[in-house]
Structure 1
């Protein structure tokens, strides 16, 4: 099982999914940014909540994936466009509350990969996703 979290402009949305991409539970909470440490703890608590809603224990979850509007490098946030984070070691902060691997990605890229494997892009080789929310983004799958 996996937890996926979308960091939007106003809300954090989490889903618990199985190995086939089937959604087992969904939870959300308002985005209330009070600094990187509190943000990481909120992501961890939201992960725990969606696991509980889906009847999963942390030991059953392989990792937590987070899509952020901005740039990431490994477990670090390079910058975000909607919350004041720059050069933040988000994975290490997250693991203080929940000791699971945290995978970070650009939110629009994450949407494209999700649609490619589990949604409208299945069976295609080239695929574009445009995301509309608080901001506008896009992700491309080529070949």
Structure 2
């Protein structure tokens, strides 16, 4: 992991999940720009969330392919895959922040948080159905919360 700039550390301190904020940004493959501002930190946080969404899509796809996965779980996992795809689209739409449209960016980031909840609810709707994506959804929810906090701070 790379050393974070003081601005990243300061912006992550404004989130509810400071350590996750810092570690997820530090693990990104790309180098942060030399001249980093608040919008740049938000972009890094969104990139970290996007990477975890891609991870969740891969895991959900793998878990759906397991022969012992029951049909109700597969249906719920399919819903999760749709929600994860929505999250990716919402993160892409949040790029509006670069054009100065903070309201659109905030709405899209808030929608990403909702998508994670919708995935979990697909499992909770069926009594006794194990939430197969809870491990990933917790991280996605926390990272989504972090992006919102950073967006609100800039």
TM category, shorter: under 0.3
Q: Of Structure 1 and Structure 2, which has the larger fraction of its residues in strand?
A: 1
Compare CA radii of gyration and give the structure with the larger one: 2
TM-score (norm 2): 0.26
- Counting helix residues as a fraction of each chain, which structure ranks higher? 2
Greater relative contact order (Cα 8 A, min sep 6): structure 1 or 2? 2
